[in-house]
Chain A
Amino acid sequence: MELPFWNREIERLPKKNLKNLQLERLKNTLERIYEKVPVYRKKFQELGITPSHLKSLEDIIKFPFTTKEDLFIDYPYGLLAVPLEEVVRVHTSSGTTGKPKAIFFSKKDLETSAELIARCLVMTGATKEDILQNSMTYGLFTGALVMHYGAEKVGILVIPAGPGNTERQIELMKTFGTTLLHMTPSYALYVASVILEKGLIPQKDLKLKTAYLGAEPYSEQTRRKIEEMLDIQVYNCYGLSEMNGPGVGFECPYKEGLHLWEDNFLVEIVHPETGEPVKEGEIGELVLTTLNREAMPLIRYRTRDLTRIISEPCACGRTHIRISRILGRSDDMFIVRGVNIFPQQIEEVLMGIKGVAQNYQIVLENYDEMIVKVEIDREFFDGRIERLLYLKNEITEKLRQTILVRPKVELVEPGTLPISEGKAKRVIDKRTL
């Protein structure tokens, strides 16, 4: 199958050339921030390091992290590496408390972010004949505008719908023959359910073929559900304002992880607590360095998002690295008997066991006792206690193999634990020291 590319040369650049390009751009970035950004110069000096310490890409670990808190030093303009007059756009990212993070774009930065989106869209088969309904929030948030510019670059007709007003969303789809959607997965689920409730037949009454869903983590199950409800392809997209917004990681038609554009970002996965690199393929916190940003370069930015690197080459032929779907937030990590555990590790194990329903809960009790409460699948229950005991044993063993701690597993009735979508509290820590 001949797959479409927006920029075939760069997207399929041999790994070696890609690494060379990264090194060159990284050097340049380090030099620029050392010279032009006092916050970084000070950080470098504290570590007794200068950009010349970078000889290879691996040397990146000698350089300091940038945390969310760092974005508030010399706020708001302190991290600019260009004169303010070169800046043409600001986006902010909602902080739950206090000031929002402010991210600045030069003219070139806007073009670059649009270029990356163009690659993503074409990668999934979009062409200039498509019509994109952009149902993310327009304004300070990067989600809608960055996608908007990228889609226009491809030549796609963009409907700047913005979020909400589901009736109107559906009217727009019908009137203009929307083929592509960009929205959050939770809203997509809702819109899909309203479409079906209205008795509309997606295959007949609508022209939808693809949805780009992102801005919040969601499961494979949710993806399939939306795909089935609307008879469309759903692609997972990842981004964060600090790294331009959407288009940082994007799935290709193989949907086995998200490609991350390595000519623009340097990818590291570190242990959330120690900051040390994890072993290849292990879950950890995604750390990103911008390699091609003019106005506000950021190095080793701690995204707090958990993922893992998929290093096998992708069948689509792109050489750029893939990460798994976002598995959660690094703040979710907890420690039991000296072992670091992420709820996502537990979730992955549970979802692979037949007889287990969607919901689970982790309770930590005194003396480092870890209890995993698991809802059983209604269909699995056949009245035989042996089967339940076997299931309980299977869960305990598989968890122990993965997290290296033997949990106490409790089987509970379906529907008794808080539901998994959204911000359900997964870990209840009752330990007191």
Chain B
Amino acid sequence: MKTVNILSLFSENKPGKLAKITEVLAQNGINILGFSIISVKDFGVIKFLVDQPEKAYTLFKESGFTVSILPALGLEMEDKPGGLYQVAKLIFSKGINIESALVYVAETRKKAYFVFETEDIEKAWELLKDEKINFLESRDLV
């Protein structure tokens, strides 16, 4: 299975929270490749795709953050009009439900990845693996 690890952080919805979280990454030379923020009134979940997910996970944990690490599928798309549509159509055609997603732009105006989490990632992989599409892997992040 070709997957990448996504970090999720629980955060109260308060000024300065994102700065506190990203400070950990900045001070340790970890590069953010993609991120998303879901906020529901008083709290939210912040997700990151980084170049060193395991190291970042340990650092967050040690700093007392509430963090989890979960695999996601990253599908390559062209960074041009209709790029996301092609990928979304493919995922939909397989009946896969997207729980959360973020975008990693590997080469501006050329190549991007649609990185998403889904309930049953192994099943999603089985459904998608034979498609003519490139999957993002951990080694691509470094």
Residues in chain A within 8 A of chain B (CB atoms): 376, 378, 381-386, 388-389, 410-416
CA distance A389 to B41 in the complex (A): 11
A385 contacts B38, C-beta separation under 8 Å: yes
CA distance A339 to B12 in the complex (A): 30
Does B10 contact A388, Cβ atoms closer than 8 Å? Answer: yes
Asked, given contacts A376-B66, A415-B64, whether A381 binds B10 with beta carbons under 8 Å apart, the answer is yes
Chain B residues bordering chain A, tally (CB within 8 A): 23
Q: How far is the CA of A86 from the CA of B48 in the complex (A)?
A: 78
How many residue pairs, one in A and one in B, have C-beta atoms under 8 Å apart? 54
The residues in B between 1 and 32 inclusive whose CB is less than 8 angstroms from any CB of A are 6-8, 10-12
Check B68 for interface membership: any CB of A closer than 8 A: yes
Q: In the complex, are the beta carbons of B70 and A382 less than 8 A apart?
A: yes
Q: Which of B40, B67, B117 contacts A389 (CB 8 A)?
A: B40
Q: Which 9 A-B pairs have the closest CB atoms?
A: A383-B8, A383-B68, A385-B45, A410-B42, A381-B66, A382-B68, A381-B10, A385-B38, A411-B43
A376-B66, A381-B66, A412-B12 given; A388·B6 CB < 8 A: no
Give Cα A416 to B66, complex, Å: 11
Given A383-B8, A411-B10, 6 other A-B residues pairs in contact with their CB atoms under 8 A: A383-B6, A384-B100, A385-B45, A388-B10, A388-B40, A410-B43
Q: How far is the CA of A385 from the CA of B40 in the complex (A)?
A: 9
B131 at the interface (CB under 8 A from A): no
Report yes or no: B43 in contact with A383, Cβ–Cβ below 8 A: no
Is the Cβ of A414 less than 8 Å from the Cβ of B38?
no
Residue of B nearest to A384 (CB): B99
Interface string of B29-66 (1 = CB under 8 A from A): 00000000010101111010000000000000000111
Q: Which single residue of chain B is at the shortest CB-CB distance from A414?
A: B66
Find chain A residues with CB under 8 A from B68 CB. 381-383
Residues of B with C-beta under 8 A to A416: 12
Tell me the minimal C-beta distance from B39 to chain A in angstroms. 9
CA distance A376 to B66 in the complex (A): 9
Are B10's CB and A413's CB within 8 A? yes
Q: Inside 8 A of A384's CB, which chain B residues have their CB?
A: 8, 45, 99-100
